[in-house]
Amino acid sequence: MEYAYKTVDITPNKPYIIAGFIIQVEPVSKVKDKLNARIMAFKDKSTIISISVDSLGIDIDFQNKLENKLQQTLGKDLNLVISSTHTHFAPDIKIKEYRDFLFNTLCESIINLKWNKTSNLKYSFKKEYFDEVGKSRISNYVSKNIYLHLIKIFDNDINVINIIIYNCHPTVHLGSTDYVTSEYPGYLLKLLNEKYKDVFFTFYQSASGDISTRFTRKSQDYDGMIDLSNKLYKKIVELYESNQDFNDINKIEYKSKAINAKHDFNEIDLSNIPNDISKRELDTINEGVRVRNNILENPDLLTKQIKISSISLNDLKIVFNPNELFSEYIESLNSKKSALVCYSNGYEPYVTPIDFKILTYETFTDTLTIETKKEIINTIKELSS
């Protein structure tokens, strides 16, 4: 068994339009934080590579092309999962020049990974409810599924890899922000790397379709982001320093399943807009109307297939899904030692719960049928079992 890890700088070296908000139409030159891609890789019976990128979202076509390129160089028994932290202040991946730069940087970095052989890999798993950074961003809709995970991987008794999984939209800043930033995930990792200098940390965004900093942030600027990052940092340090239950890793496996995405376009009743919602919620509902009209005009652009995959470290399962799932989908996991990561294997729209009745921005972008949502739930259960 072998493992490898690397943090790669993917900060733009020239101005680009940043993705995340429709009002961003001019290239941005200022950089507040570095953007990084964090590569975590394992070799057992096959090679498994997981990348967490400081980006709004990486499309499945990008992932497939990079996987094919790596298979040509490193062998066919290689599986790749690319995930995004979902920062709204990184370059738009559709811009060819930045897209090519990112592709070539990741490809070269993976090919040149330094592998470590081991016969004694172990992990510890911590999961706690934590809503000091993220809460439901929908008025009068409370989520009980806001979880912070810390997975520590050890080679013998040395901690070598740390996986943080949390579900909260990284949207502290105003949409008009004029600089590049990796938002709270990047700032959190910067703090952890300063404290634990020789240890690798990576961050994955979980099911945060309905979870954000809307009702927890003090301000929508860099200071507001730092404030929330510090709260998350303190909690991670607490988990990191606490007693560990060690579990042997004798087997590392990758599985995947593709499900057909079916859509419906039921008319949305705008008379159901609640009276007691925030101005931001009302603004996003109005934006949702525009987005829905665009979907209706271009139905052929909707995804036809959803790829869901998992990486298993013995009995620990990490399941990867491309959609912006609502936090309720965390309940689909079939094991206490499991976690759900979104914005992975592509980047697809919001998925609200099957019985969701509230009128929100997310309602307008969710076109999946109940049948498809049930398939997503069943596949998450299957891959986490």
Are 174 and 221 within 8 A, CB to CB? Answer: yes
pLDDT, tens digit, for every residue of 212-248?
Answer: 999 999 999 999 999 999 999 999 999 999 998 999 9
Residuewise pLDDT in 10s, the chain (385 residues):
999 999 999 999 999 999 999 899 999 999 999 999 999 999 999 999 999 999 999 999 999 999 999 999 999 999 999 999 999 999 999 999 999 999 999 999 999 999 999 999 999 999 999 999 999 999 989 999 999 999 999 999 999 999 999 999 999 999 999 999 999 999 999 999 999 998 999 999 999 999 999 999 999 999 999 999 999 999 999 999 999 899 999 999 999 999 999 999 888 888 878 888 999 999 999 999 999 999 999 999 899 999 999 999 999 999 999 999 999 999 999 989 999 999 999 999 999 999 999 999 999 999 999 999 999 999 999 999 9
Nearest to 321 by CA among 371, 375, 264: 375
User: Using H for helix, E for strand and C for coil, what is the string for 203-250?
Assistant: EEECCCCCEECCCCCCCCCHHHHHHHHHHHHHHHHHHHHCCCCCEEEC
Which residue type is seen at 2?
E
Most distant CA pair in the chain, distance: 62
> Is this structure's pTM higher than 0.95?
yes
pLDDT, tens digit, for every residue of 261-283?
Answer: 999 988 888 887 888 899 999 99
Domains of the chain by residue range: 1-252+306-357
Please give the structure tokens belonging to residue 63: 């992932």
Are 211 and 134 within 8 A, CB to CB? Answer: yes
Q: Is residue 222 classed exposed, middle or buried when 0-12, 13-18 and 19+ CB atoms within 10 A define those classes?
A: middle
Rounded Cα distance, 43 and 49, in Å? 9
pLDDT, tens digit, for every residue of 284-321?
Answer: 999 999 999 999 999 998 999 999 999 999 999 999 99
End-to-end CA distance of the chain: 23
Are 216 and 228 within 8 A, CB to CB? Answer: yes
Nearest to 352 by CA among 384, 330, 327: 327
